[in-house]
Structure 1
């Protein structure tokens, strides 16, 4: 039986660090494998939650156990003339670390990146994030309310035994940038209609506006967000907010799923590419980066990095 990377479901530490890297010309695959292996050992020894995500190109160079329908992330553009888009910046390697002590997680990611750079990779971007209040997004809304129950998440996120990539999980990783000034000019009632939930306790609104966020991302058998129908193609969210020194704030959106298509379906819906009106939240927040990764099983990583 294949074993998923445990940090996918472990309780997150208060601090997270996302580091995205890609290979340059002449990169040393052996050195990269060794650096990732050392990073896993170091994180395990220090109690750091670590998820290793591999892009389509690096995964194919490390293992033959490649899941079906693993596509790179391409920019998703709205078609209503608004110019809104979910930018694609596909990279080859994601290291996601979490711990309750910021200095510990910083040092672990620093050591890993230095070893990877020495092997011919370069850091494309990094984002340190944190837990805000009771799992709040910077908009003031509770994030992750729509997640399946904890005990149901493995069935949603992990490829079952007998299939290509068993024990692994598809990842979407995006850094959303919020226009909080514009968002906070709306009254709470308008914010709630745009989001599809109440702000105080994240109660689902009985009636969803066509432009609500929930009406685009809550997939159902039948019309999206039709609460009379069962949910389908659920995902397990692990998102956290960030705040940069230049005043840029937003949400680092990360989610896991046993297939990749539900991620693409949600993005097409949010940007009105499937016939729906565009998600109103995209008037206030859009991704400045986006990549798809695959988190292989523990056994696959062990054999691939040996």
Structure 2
């Protein structure tokens, strides 16, 4: 019986490395996917497939859609589709780097590495701004219902957000709390938070139907730049899409206050196949 990739619902690892690949033209996609099945255990490596390799083997996945670019008052959300996304999970950053090199070589020539980003768990699971991430995540059976489809697969939304720390640090503490809608000191939600507060823009139970996802985001850093690798799993992409539309103000013209100090520079959807017999069922 197919089962979900266990890393989807597992606690965040101390370290991670995200790999993004393209599908090279005039190569054997089936051979590349066969190599992928030999590499991915779903726990230490979580895999998500884009539309290109699935189309190459004649596979259509219900619910897997292109990530649409969105624009609202003064903000825009880019779409950066890719063929393959891998989330390498571990406790040693050096080992993850060496593992990613082995993965890159094993998947060539069908898949070509486009990007690699190192990430890490910050404190108890906080963004680099100091605010807790994923406070409203569903748990237990509710997490399974939100993230996993009936066949054991999942769909994942991935965005890399780049923080402007200068802007954030120039804000007064109360202003920062109003942007998030929670106090950083104790993570308590503010009763009088403005409508632009992030928690109000994305309150999962406020949508119709409710828009629950399972967030597995982690901070990233490369040179002077840093931010949040936003990762949200769902049994469809509808819940995430509804949240994103409200964040950019397409519902009521109110833009999420997060955009005052951070912006996404990428955005893609991927299908995370289930496991069967310990291997990806593609």
Q: TM-score range by the shorter chain?
A: over 0.9
* Cα pair 1:56 1:70 within 8 Å, conserved: yes
Aligned to 2:45: 50
Q: Which runs of 5+ in 2 are unaligned?
A: none
Aligned to 1:72: 66
Structure 2: distance between partners of 1:25 and 1:234: 37
Aligned to 1:265: 242
How do 1:238-277 and structure 2 match up within 5 A? 238-245=216-223, 247-277=224-254
Shift of 1:242: 1.2
Aligned to 2:97: 106
Change in Cα spacing, 1:221 to 1:288, as seen in structure 2 (3 Å) is closer
Matched, 1:198 2:183: yes
Aligned to 2:264: 287
Matched, 1:129 2:119: yes
* Cα pair 2:23 2:111 within 8 Å, conserved: yes
Deviation per residue, 1:59-79 (Å, 9 max, x gap): 344574622x3211132222x
Which of 162, 177, 192 is the aligned partner of 1:177? 162
- TM-score, length-scaled by structure 1: 0.85
Which of 200, 220, 235 is the aligned partner of 2:213? 235
Structure 1: distance between partners of 2:120 and 2:57: 32
* Cα pair 1:239 1:254 within 8 Å, conserved: yes
Aligned to 1:96: 87
Over aligned residues, Cα RMSD in angstroms? Answer: 2.1
Deviation per residue, 1:32-84 (Å, 9 max, x gap): 123212322xx68xxx62111011232344574622x3211132222x2x2x2
Shift of 1:303: 4.3
State the number of aligned residues.
281
* Cα pair 1:12 1:99 within 8 Å, conserved: no
Q: SS where residue 13 of structure 1 aligns?
A: coil
Aligned to 2:37: 37
Structure 1: distance between partners of 2:206 and 2:122: 33
* Cα pair 1:76 1:87 within 8 Å, conserved: yes
Structure 2: distance between partners of 1:210 and 1:4: 37
Structure 1: distance between partners of 2:280 and 2:86: 16
* Cα pair 1:10 1:49 within 8 Å, conserved: no
* Cα pair 2:274 2:281 within 8 Å, conserved: no
- TM-score, length-scaled by structure 2: 0.92
Q: Which runs of 5+ in 1 are unaligned?
A: 161-165, 224-230
Shift of 1:134: 1.7
Structure 2: distance between partners of 1:169 and 1:262: 13
